[in-house]
Structure 1
Amino acid sequence: MVELTKNNLSRNLYLNCIHEFSWGFGIAFHTTYAIIPLFLKKLGAPDAVIISVAGLFSILIAFPMFFSAILGRNIRNIKKAVFLSHSVVLPPIFFTGFIFAFLAPTGPNAWMYYYVCFILYCLAVGFIIPIWTDFLAHIFPRENRGHYLGISFAFNSIGGFAGGIIVKILLNSSIPFPNNFGWGFIIMGISMGLGILVYLFYNVGNKTDKTPHKTIAVFWQDTKNIIQSHVNFRRYLLSRILITAHFPAMSLYAVYTQELFGFNISEAGLFIVLQVITFSLGSVASGKIGDRWGHKTAIILSFSGYLLAIIFTIFATSMIHVYAIFLSLGLGHGGFMPSAMNMVYEFAESRDSKTYMALIDTFLAPFVLLMIIGASVLDPIIGTRNLFVLAGFLIAIGLLLLTFWVKEPRLYPHKAAD
């Protein structure tokens, strides 16, 4: 790959901040922790469907990841690949916006129209991630990638802050339901589309290395070798299993607290604003902590934010606690992005980061599904509050495993031959 100069890196950082701002602004209209659960609830979706949202997102993005990694195993023009792959996400967004802004379906089955579009959206996002992961490895150097990503993802939260304000205004406007949500999805698509266009202007050297063409058979053999020989990576995957309890909990925060305190649905905009404030802080802090003390430390702090959100939910007695939930959630989400991405790079070392990224989400997908099914079954039996208690317990155990069982990949590199 062509060596990037300091000016190239600065340009890439500026462009990545613009891209992340655009996507952060757009995704504010489609958050799995507030907007989607409340939207589905108002559409009359069953509780099991609402519980599934965050987890289903994780499961569905895992399905196309290996397909994307296989297709991208011999990419030479990474800038073109990341631009085209991101463009796949726009059709389901605009289609959803058109349905609810102009057709405005109602009735007991109206939620199904959205759910189909949501599934298509998730699959499109899953196709993006491995190629995007590889792209980030091309535009920022390994030694301070956490710093660059932390700043970039902070701008994602700034965009989310602005988007959250617009969400609140939109949901408080005279535009009736569900047209207001439909227009929100259209705004989301426009903003994300502008962010995709930014990819055309990055300084990215085309691959000119001597990496041989990799057949599918070789790709699968490499994948098998990773699973069999990379012990620390396996430990990381196993520790992440219990932390998947976060997904059904995330879908329930807004719905559960609305039932407790009866707030207006427009409060979702404020939740987004609060979440992105700490998202920004968590993102920058995670990048700096990871670069200095290791990205395992950073991701532990990130997951601790998820646990803190559950604790506030369990003991919620006022709207102050509700706001604290989303502040904690933002801290977790913000810290997760740079730390998780850099954990992938450090596990992969000089190997294919796309494969490692695909392995993580594909491996965790069945367990996310198990958590969703378990939560859906247990919720009417033990109650939502006790469900949060159980989720918190599982996350705490996962955190202990991650802390004391998984080694910092930077300090303990994988010794197996590639």
Structure 2
Amino acid sequence: MEKINEDAAVADEAVVIHADDDGKTLAEREVEYEKFVWANLKRNYIAHYLHGMLGMTGFRLVNAPTFLPAYLYLISGSSFIVGLGLALQQVGGMISPIFGATQIEHRKRVMPAAVWMGGLARVQILGMALAGWFLSGQTLVVAILAFMFMFGLFMGTQRVVFSLLMAKVIPISRRGRLQAWRNATGGVIAAALAWVAGKYFIEGNLLGNGYASTFLFATILTSMGLWALQFLMIEPEPPTTRAQTPFFERLKDFPRLISQDRGYMFFLIVQMLSITGRMATPFYILYVSTTIELTGANIGLLSLAFLGADTLSNLVWGYLGDKTGFRVVLVSSLVIWIAATVLLMNVHDVAAIFVAFFGLGAAQSGYMMSAQTMILEFGSRDDMPMRIALSSTAEGIMASAGPLVGGIMAATLGYESVFGTSIAFLAAGLLLLLFMVREPRKDRIAAGG
């Protein structure tokens, strides 16, 4: 059986050992914890599968580089506003993860916090839908920007909580295939819904506003996923947690978290470079509008390509990651990401643009899976929430600045300059990953973990 302890730093004075009154040693409680994980694996696997399939399907409709950027451009007429909206969303995601981590890392059970944080994220999508129906003009633009900021804020805390929940109940050797199947089946649904939303919701102006109808549907799907996780998952109490620490005191631990693991330090830099490369994402669909007519059908078709890539590639990424570790997935994703961006810059017909969007979707899904899974394999279990939060914050810093800078560049220098800059950052991250970051799973096995 796998070792679930993951090198818990029990010698650290900040770690609390939950001995209760059973008189059992820490080693005995670790064995019980591992047995609990395996005994409840089937039910927890189903819970996380349904949560990912339904919840992430809805989030894909919001986060795809098609519907929301196109809607912002439609109501504002400005590339800068598109960049500003994505920047505000990322700012929200930047400032909240560390606070979220400090609220859960001392808790033996974190599912109640997950319901609150996840629920509040879904409320923001509903707000976008309602704003589309009941507001107009400048008020609508401001409202959408505000909801995007709040959406990012709660998504930042949600990422920490749900990553920790998966790490608590899904063993390392099962995480890749879980993400593969939930992303693949969710991708089928999302790709189909993207085409339906473009063809029938937007072109048909469903309920008076096709974009608002799309956001409402996304709210329903994500809420169903959260309910499935809440009612099905059985959460164990870990043998150890960190002692509760004031927020600003916990910030002082950041240098230790970064410096104690050289591999994690360089991985963090790779994350920051890669996320900066994502600065071009909201402008893919706007660039395409300069070469083909941006009808609802074409938006749906390209959304189908981007989200459909999730369906096929996630099966490859998940099983490959389980078998070899996720470093090779991250390398492959960055290579495909660069190639697809170059292709998009040099083609001018719908079929070739479809291929480029498919590559971009496959690359970014591979990046997300590998980055979110590799982070769980560095360092100790008790530091995991803060390590996830630190990576989320670092990504958020770059992700918030990227779209804003990209919007300015697109408005003043053209989309090609944005894409070229994106490629440069992705290439830098790829080189650093190849030469400075080892596979953390192999290091753990070598250390006897």
- Do the structures match in fold with TM over 0.5? yes
Could you tell me whether the CA contact under 8 Å between 2:242 and 2:382 is conserved in 1? no
Q: Secondary structure at the match of 1:211?
A: strand
Match of 2:293 in 1: 262
Match of 1:113 in 2: 143
Could you tell me whether the CA contact under 8 Å between 2:177 and 2:322 is conserved in 1? yes
Structure 1 position 142 matched with structure 2 position 172: yes
Between the aligned partners of 1:201 and 1:299, the Cα distance in structure 2 is 33
Match of 2:30 in 1: none
Match of 2:221 in 1: 191
1:27 counterpart letter in structure 2: F
Q: CA deviation at 1:221?
A: 4.7
Structure 1 position 155 matched with structure 2 position 185: yes
Pairing 1:2-401 to 2, within 5 Å after superposition: 3-4=35-36, 8-101=40-133, 103=134, 105-108=135-138, 110-168=140-198, 169-175=200-206, 179-211=209-241, 213-216=243-246, 219-401=250-432
Between the aligned partners of 2:167 and 2:377, the Cα distance in structure 1 is 11
Q: Residues 48-82 of structure 1, C-alpha deviation per residue, up to 9 Å, x if partnerless? A: 12134445433321211000000011122233332
Match of 2:20 in 1: none
Q: CA deviation at 1:165?
A: 3.1
Deviates more, 1:62-71 or 1:329-338: 329-338
Could you tell me whether the CA contact under 8 Å between 1:3 and 1:205 is conserved in 2? no
Q: CA deviation at 1:409?
A: 1.5
Aligned Cα RMSD in Å? 2.5
Do the aligned partners of residues 7 and 156 (structure 1) sit closer, same or farther apart at CA in structure 2, a change above 3 Å counting?
Answer: farther
Deviates more, 1:33-42 or 1:17-26: 17-26
Q: Residues 372-393 of structure 1, C-alpha deviation per residue, up to 9 Å, x if partnerless? A: 3432343344321233123212
Could you tell me whether the CA contact under 8 Å between 2:241 and 2:382 is conserved in 1? no
Q: CA deviation at 1:138?
A: 1.7
User: What TM-score, normalized by structure 2, do the two folds share?
Assistant: 0.84
Between the aligned partners of 2:250 and 2:446, the Cα distance in structure 1 is 19
2:374 counterpart letter in structure 1: M
User: What TM-score, normalized by structure 1, do the two folds share?
Assistant: 0.90
Could you tell me whether the CA contact under 8 Å between 2:344 and 2:353 is conserved in 1? yes
Between the aligned partners of 1:290 and 1:174, the Cα distance in structure 2 is 42
Could you tell me whether the CA contact under 8 Å between 2:79 and 2:411 is conserved in 1? no
Q: Residues 387-409 of structure 1, C-alpha deviation per residue, up to 9 Å, x if partnerless? A: 31232122112211111121222
Q: CA deviation at 1:108?
A: 4.7
Match of 2:9 in 1: none
Could you tell me whether the CA contact under 8 Å between 1:347 and 1:414 is conserved in 2? no
Q: Residues 331-379 of structure 1, C-alpha deviation per residue, up to 9 Å, x if partnerless? A: 1132123311221111134342211111112123333344334323433
Do the aligned partners of residues 262 and 90 (structure 1) sit closer, same or farther apart at CA in structure 2, a change above 3 Å counting?
Answer: same
Q: Deviation above 6 Å: which 4+ runs of structure 1? A: none
Could you tell me whether the CA contact under 8 Å between 1:26 and 1:160 is conserved in 2? yes
Do the aligned partners of residues 245 and 222 (structure 1) sit closer, same or farther apart at CA in structure 2, a change above 3 Å counting?
Answer: closer
Q: CA deviation at 1:246?
A: 2.7
Could you tell me whether the CA contact under 8 Å between 1:167 and 1:266 is conserved in 2? no
Q: Secondary structure at the match of 1:90?
A: helix
Structure 2: unaligned runs, 5 residues or longer: 1-32
Structure 1: unaligned runs, 5 residues or longer: none
Do the aligned partners of residues 211 and 149 (structure 1) sit closer, same or farther apart at CA in structure 2, a change above 3 Å counting?
Answer: same
Q: CA deviation at 1:247?
A: 2.3
Do the aligned partners of residues 414 and 244 (structure 1) sit closer, same or farther apart at CA in structure 2, a change above 3 Å counting?
Answer: farther
Between the aligned partners of 1:156 and 1:246, the Cα distance in structure 2 is 25
Q: CA deviation at 1:21?
A: 2.3
Could you tell me whether the CA contact under 8 Å between 2:89 and 2:152 is conserved in 1? yes
Do the aligned partners of residues 31 and 342 (structure 1) sit closer, same or farther apart at CA in structure 2, a change above 3 Å counting?
Answer: closer
Between the aligned partners of 2:388 and 2:445, the Cα distance in structure 1 is 16
Between the aligned partners of 1:337 and 1:365, the Cα distance in structure 2 is 14
Could you tell me whether the CA contact under 8 Å between 2:183 and 2:311 is conserved in 1? yes
Between the aligned partners of 1:189 and 1:317, the Cα distance in structure 2 is 35
Deviates more, 1:130-139 or 1:49-58: 49-58
Do the aligned partners of residues 310 and 212 (structure 1) sit closer, same or farther apart at CA in structure 2, a change above 3 Å counting?
Answer: closer
Count of aligned residue pairs for this structure pair: 413
